[in-house]
Every structure is written in structure tokens, then in C-alpha cells.
Chain A
């Protein structure tokens, strides 16, 4: 089960030099579906084993069930449902979903389409004439926070501050004490505090004033599960802002990059806009924004692929590797937007599977469709582009593209 080689493989995956193309290393890793690693715990890399574990009720998302606890970023703060187990997780997710999707709020995402299209197009307007643009900084990074703010019902004049907070938080997530200035971490801690306090204030103002945004609805709704506390609402809103930011940025950037690497698909998309639906699914398989679920805790002993994972162990799930598992996907290293039976792990699976999936899909579909429609003969400036440090939320830090000219 564990060999020195898989050990080395995981270390190489985490090394920055693998960021542009970790996939050959994932293939190496899959030779041992479950491998033990001194830092990462049990590393699971094959599709079926990952899927089984994501549906295994003996897995916990609550840090307190790890025998080797993780350092907490913030003490004594209400945790959002992504870090909770049932029944609390289910209750909070259900209460949030009441205002976000079917069956109670079926038309939400469809109702946002007009706003999404105009937000996307006003961003494109800003660089319409430029010869060189950065798809990440000029476009992708500006989109999700705006969209989530609209969803939450955050006043327009606050949006800039929200962008800054989310940015500072994301920058502190993969803080490396050896190379990064301590200031980066401090800024992140401060941003979390400020964001939470500000959201708390907004929630408070919305009591007794039902309105359209999610914050107002959560603050005033008495559903079958009762009402969230203000702290729970703020934690949920913060989760949506963060979980829905860098993921979308990465998917858009990975999407443009992949299209520019497959010009015939790009051409097809321009003439056949419906292709964007299966294309985004294939992107979520082929170049997913979330490569790794960094940890789950084994709540009791669990046997996976003949390996016993003892209670309290840390389990790391290599989603992007599962997406390239030849035992699940035919010709997995081929980007094929016409692929059928594409049950990828891009949004995870099981009870924690992405809450924002419907919105994320639509947002990315519209973004890519409009970019492809409006960019004039786009060309990659550097291939591979530079990547962000994180092996977990993996994506380009810049994606320079030239357009127009002769």
C-alpha cells in the first residue's frame, strides 16, 4: 500500500514546479488508491474510492474529530456548514437552500441571467479595445464577488470593500511562513474579522425588513427548521463569498486556457453557443478548480481498497486525480466536450457537494460564451501561464491574452 514512491509523488505534487501539469503525477499516485503520508494522512486518488468515501457516513468534516488537530485561523467563531456534520450541516444547508434553489426557490439562477450577462459584458467593455488583457485580473477576478454580493443583497456602495476583503482572505489561505511576509497573514485575519462584522451589521439592519436578497430572506424567514441566528447567517454569507470566488476565477481562467489550447473547440463554441453546457461540465472534469479536498476525518475505522484507515486519521481526497481515472473515464486525458456519462468530481459529491453548483455553472457558461463571442482572435501569450501557489485551489494567477492586430 504505501511505498516510498507514492510518498515522493505526493511531495512532488505539492511542489510548485508541478502546478502547470500535475496530471502525470496523479497517474503515478493512482497506482496506490490509498497511500499514507506523514503530513497529509491517507491520500486517496482513484475515482471509485473517492466517491465511496464522499458518501461514507463515517467521514467527518468537523476538525474536532481529527486526532491531530489543525491550527484554527479564528477562535470562538461560528463555523459555516462546510465544516459541520449532520444533523447540523443538513439543517443549515437546508435553511440556506430554501432561498437559493429548488424546490422552494426554483427560479433563482434563471432570474439572475440578465444581471450575469450585463455584469459580464460591462467587464468586457472595459477592455474591448485593448490588445493585451489578463483574463484573470481584468475579468475573472472581478466577477464572482459582484455576483455573490447581488445574490446576498449587499448595497452596491459596499461592493469594493467586499472585493478587498475576499482578496485579502484568499491571499492568506496559502500563506507560507517561510517565504511570505507575515503581513499577508495578518491582512487575511483582519479581513475575516471585518467581513464578518460588516455582514453582521447588514443582517441586523434587515430584521423586520423582508427584501429580495438572501441576507434579508434569511433574517426574516421562519421555515420548518426555524430561523438561523445572525451569526449563522453571517457565517453562511461569508462561506458563499469565499467558496464562490477563487473557484469561479479558476474555472473561467482554466476554461479560456483550455479553449485557446483547443482552437477547433473554441471555433465550434463561437458558432454553436449551446456547446457551452457540456463544455463546462468537461472543464470541471478535465481542469477542475478544486483539485483536492484537503481533509476529512475518519470518525471510525474505515476500510478502503483493503487499507484500514484508523479512527481520527486525516483523509485527503484527490478530486482532480479521480477525474482522470481511466477506470472511470474513457481516454481521460482527452478534453472532449461531447463526452457522455460525465459524472465528474469537480463539485465533490455526497452531502457536501457544491451548494453553489447551479449558479457556478451558469456564471461560467455566460462568462465563457461572451468572452469567446467578443474577443477578437485571442491568442495565448505564455503557455503554460504562471500559476498560483496552491495545489488545492489550482489555477493561473495571470492569463495574458492578445487580441486583434493582424
Chain B
């Protein structure tokens, strides 16, 4: 580090490169300027155009309430940055401190932020994925093409995978009055994220809204017609469904390929970090000048036994971006950890679903308030006798209380009488799928100060995956 010898010098004229110009990248850049960073700032992103917001892409954009081009992220301040858009980063050289672009250009840095997020997991058979009428949803271009296909009034839409994204898309289709089939390998929707008990509620919600929901089935083949148009899906049990549109919603793949050979602990599970968002190297040591934030990062959380947790949550991307930016320009003593309790929300079939904590870090769940039958309730999750998460359906105002329970490691089940408590409020096994279903390519990556382990046992910390 030349100009970046001291934090003050770095703040004045250091060079920061942000790779990934979306939510985490933009918010980190804004936070850097807000912290008083006056050095050079370069934003590298493979998408063209202004950074935009993704949550509406599976919701209001598909129903037509919001244009696909209308989700540009609000700018909180001028950035005075150099934008290198439309070309992906192809490599990271820590010895010479350069980011290599796919077109061969090299961009030098003193500190770099990795914010390359994730991409949609495509259908595994390439020729079938290429059929006209087969979609994924991650970018605004994806959302716009799917919206157009939905507006054309397909005879039926098939959604493969009932994670949050799949469920939200199913909901948008029903709002448009389209016939929808949802196919899910697990016993119920949202099982990978919230467990089978709440998954059953999600299943009921879908059926109430007229979704043809098929659980415990595997889609094995997508069939096209002579003109290369998707027409039919085949299931493992021999059944078929005819449809004109198939949406593949099978979760995501972390954009870490460009970090191969960089010496960082990066792989299919993301970029391992310490709580201050500093990336770890392959021997588990925190690097000084490399930070990561957002969907691509996996950070340890002290409330969850310091396990590395990857969260594909909007609020997490924002928080990590701000913490990473702060720590980039701060001396060791002033750095701060990312400790807030994860939050996530979704809207589907008119119901506002919200969670605090990490519901996949649980062995039991209990409905504490409200009525499951009315799709209006709060459920608390516990792991080995303490509260680790809560999920609300149309009852988000209560979650502050559960966040406090999580922060204070309150005993599970919470055993206090309260108004509107279901009569049979008994904890039951949470019903999370085993590693076989959840973990695509789960491998132990790094060990060291932060314990890193493969998915195992009932309390694996792979929270909040949006996989189906």
C-alpha cells in the first residue's frame, strides 16, 4: 500500500475498487463518501445501466404495477466514481493488487470490495433451458421478458421450485388470473427457508389462491415443440404438465468464479469473511485490504455459534455494505462488526411474510400468536432451548419483541401467557430438509478462528437460502 499507509492518508487519497455495482456495491460506495473518503472510487459491474433494486422483480414488475426499468435504486449522494460497466471482472491478483477485467484491462486498488452477489441457478440441461418460454428471474431483463410472456396470456405457467422467488412469481401469476402449477421437491413450499411446519401454511395459502401445487415431485425434463418452444414438463413420477411458460426458481449460484486462484477462501458457498466483512484467505486469516458484502459474503454471527452464514437478504446487503465501507477507512480500533439480527420479508398472495433471525438455525418451532388457519400468526424458532428466529404472516408489528428474545438468547419455547395465543401452542420439530436437499455442493472450506463446517445436523447455519 503506497498512498494508503495510514487510515487518514488512505481516506484522503487511497484507491478503492468495488466489484459488483448493485445494491451492496452502491450502498458501500455511498457509505465510503459519507465517511469522508475522498480518494478514487471505481465501480466495476457486468450489468449495464444504473444500479437497481431486485425485490420488485418477482412482485410488482410481474403484475405490471412497476416497470422493469423503474426500480433504479435511489441515490443518496453524488459519488464521484468511475464506472466500468458492461464488462465482468475476471480475476483478482492480491500480490500486485489489481482487478483483471474480462477484456484484459487491469484496475489497480489499495482496497477492494467484493459485491458480486449471486445469479439464478439455471435449468441443468442446457438445451432445455434454452427453449423459448423457459425463464429465470434475477435481473431486470429477466423480469421484463417474463412479464411480457405473462402478459401474452399463456395457457398455464409452470414454476419449478417453491422457494421465496418461486412463490412470489406464482402469486403474481395468480394475480393476473393465469393458471399456475408449482412443482417442488420438498413436502411443501418454503420448506428450505422456513421448515415444513410453516411450509404447510404456505401450501394452504397457495391452494386457497388456486395454485395447482405439486409437492414431493421432481421435474425431470422440459419438452419443446418443433419450433423450440416449451410445451410440456415431465415429472419423476411419470406425470406431465402442459404449459407455455416455465420459470426455473431453483435458487442461486454465488458469483465467485472470478476469484478462483486469488488465494481467498471463496467458493460455491461464497466468500468467507470475519464479522467486520474482511475476506479470509485460504488459510483462514483475515486479509487487510479485501472486503466482501451482500449475497456473495458469508460471515460468522456470534448469536449463531459464530458459524459462517450466507444471507440473500436485502437488509443484510445494506448493512454489510455500510460496515465494510466503514471498516475500509477506519483504523483497527475503530472498526465495527456486523451484528444485527437478520431480517427478511416477502409478499405473496396478499400476505406479508417477515422473519427475524435465522429460521434455518433451529430444531423446533412453535406458533406463539394468532391463527395459522387465518394465515395471520407469529411462529418462534428455537435451537437447543433458546430462541433463534421468528416468522410472521401479516403480523410484522410483533417482530420487535422476538428480535429482543433472539438478542437475549431467551429460553425456547417462550412460555408466557399472552392474549391471542393459540390453544395448542406446542413446539414441534421444525422440519428443515436435510443437507441432501439443501446443500448443492456443500463442502467444508476454511477452518480457523471462525469455525467452518459443512452442513450437518439439525442446526446448520445456511440461513435464508432462497432455494426451492
Residue positions of A touching B, CB distance < 8 A: 51-52, 55-58, 60, 62, 65, 85-87, 90, 299-302, 350-351, 353
Contacts and interface: CB of A to CB of B under 8 A. Distances in A.
A357 to B, nearest CB: 14
B417 A87 contact: no
B397 to A, nearest CB: 5
27 contacts: A51-B400, A52-B400, A52-B401, A55-B397, A55-B398, A55-B400, A56-B401, A57-B369, A57-B401, A58-B417, A58-B418, A60-B419, A62-B419, A65-B419, A85-B420, A86-B419, A86-B420, A87-B370, A87-B371, A90-B376, A300-B418, A302-B416, A350-B397, A350-B398, A350-B400, A351-B397, A353-B397
B401 A55 contact: yes
- Secondary structure call for the B interface: mixed
Contacts of A57: 368-369, 378, 398, 401, 418-420
A60 B417 CA distance: 11
Interface residues of B, number: 16
Contact of B420 (A87, A300, A302, A350): A87
Contacts of B370: 86-87
Contacts of A353: 397
A51 B397 CA distance: 12
Interface string B220-236: 00000000000000000
Given A300-B418, A351-B398, 9 more contacts: A51-B400, A56-B401, A57-B378, A57-B418, A85-B419, A86-B369, A86-B370, A299-B418, A353-B397
B400 A300 contact: no
Interface in B414-428: 416-420
Contacts of B400: 51-52, 55, 350
B404 interface: yes
Contacts of B420: 57, 85-87
B87 to A, nearest CB: 37
Nearest to B399: A55
Nearest to B378: A57
B369 A300 contact: no
Contacts of B371: 87
Contacts of A301: 416
A353 B397 CA distance: 10
Contacts of B397: 55, 350-351, 353
Q: Which of A57, A62, A351: most chain B CB closer than 10 A? A: A57
A91 to B, nearest CB: 10
B419 A300 contact: no
For the complex of A and B, 8 pairs with smallest distance between CB atoms: A85-B419, A55-B400, A86-B420, A57-B418, A300-B416, A300-B417, A55-B401, A58-B418
A58 B415 CA distance: 11
Interface in B335-378: 368-371, 376, 378
B106 to A, nearest CB: 40
B417 A299 contact: yes
B357 to A, nearest CB: 15
A351 B395 CA distance: 9
B390 to A, nearest CB: 11
A222 B417 CA distance: 33
Nearest to A297: B419
B409 to A, nearest CB: 14
B346 to A, nearest CB: 16
A89 to B, nearest CB: 9
